[in-house]
């Protein structure tokens, strides 16, 4: 059973890591920030807009690996400002109104770029193993 990596946008492959890494039914999703497909920050200074983009990016990576948002079993959110928790939580609640994935939120000092207010990573378990029809 090997590991397969996935890139939702083949024109923007990151160096040194994969947005999604899948072994059998388990997909690990790298932390996503509020960059769109062109690498432009969505919602500068706006955590809610960045959270929405983070989840769009997670969904794109998950779809590339053969999954969907309902397959998420765990998300971890990294916030720079604790005051942004409600904005993030409102986006998560809208996406998962009844039985969402397990979730952790960690308040941190900084992300890799000062304009990033939030980063979200995830783990999914798919219904079918890799290569199953």
Q: What pLDDT, on the 0 to 100 scale, is given for residue 133? A: 46
Long-range contacts of 113-116 (CB under 8 A, 24+ apart): 113/33, 115/41, 115/44, 115/45, 116/33, 116/34, 116/41, 116/50, 116/80
The per-residue pLDDT for range 4-47, each reduced to its tens digit, is 888 888 777 777 788 999 999 999 999 999 999 889 999 999 99
The per-residue pLDDT for range 61-118, each reduced to its tens digit, is 999 999 999 999 999 999 999 999 999 999 999 999 998 999 999 999 999 999 999 9
Average pLDDT of the chain is 93
Report DSSP state, residue 131.
T
Tell me the pairing of strands 3-6 and 26-32: unpaired
What the chain holds in terms of domains, given with CATH numbers, is 3-7+18-125 (3.30.1330.40)
d(CA 37, CA 106): 26
**Per-residue pLDDT for 132 more than 60?**
no
56-60, 119-123, 125-129: segment of lowest average pLDDT: 125-129
**Per-residue pLDDT for 121 more than 80?**
yes
Q: What pLDDT, on the 0 to 100 scale, is given for residue 129? A: 60
The per-residue pLDDT for range 71-81, each reduced to its tens digit, is 999 999 999 99
> Does the predicted TM-score (pTM) go above 0.95?
no
């Amino acid at each position: 059973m090997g590991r397969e990596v996935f890139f939702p946008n083949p024109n923007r492959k990151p160096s040194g890591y994969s947005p999604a890494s899948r072994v059998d039914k388990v997909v690990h999703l790298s932390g996503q920030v509020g960059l769109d497909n062109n690498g432009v920050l969505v919602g500068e200074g706006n955590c809610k807009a960045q959270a929405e983009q983070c989840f769009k990016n997670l969904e794109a990576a998950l779809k590339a690996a053969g999954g969907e948002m309902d397959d998420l079993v765990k998300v971890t959110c990294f916030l720079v400002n604790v005051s942004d928790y409600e904005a993030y939580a409102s986006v998560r609640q809208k996406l998962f109104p009844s039985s969402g994935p397990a979730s952790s939120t960690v308040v941190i000092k900084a992300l890799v770029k000062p304009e990033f207010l939030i980063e979200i990573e995830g783990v999914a378990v798919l219904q079918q193993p890799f290569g199953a029809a």
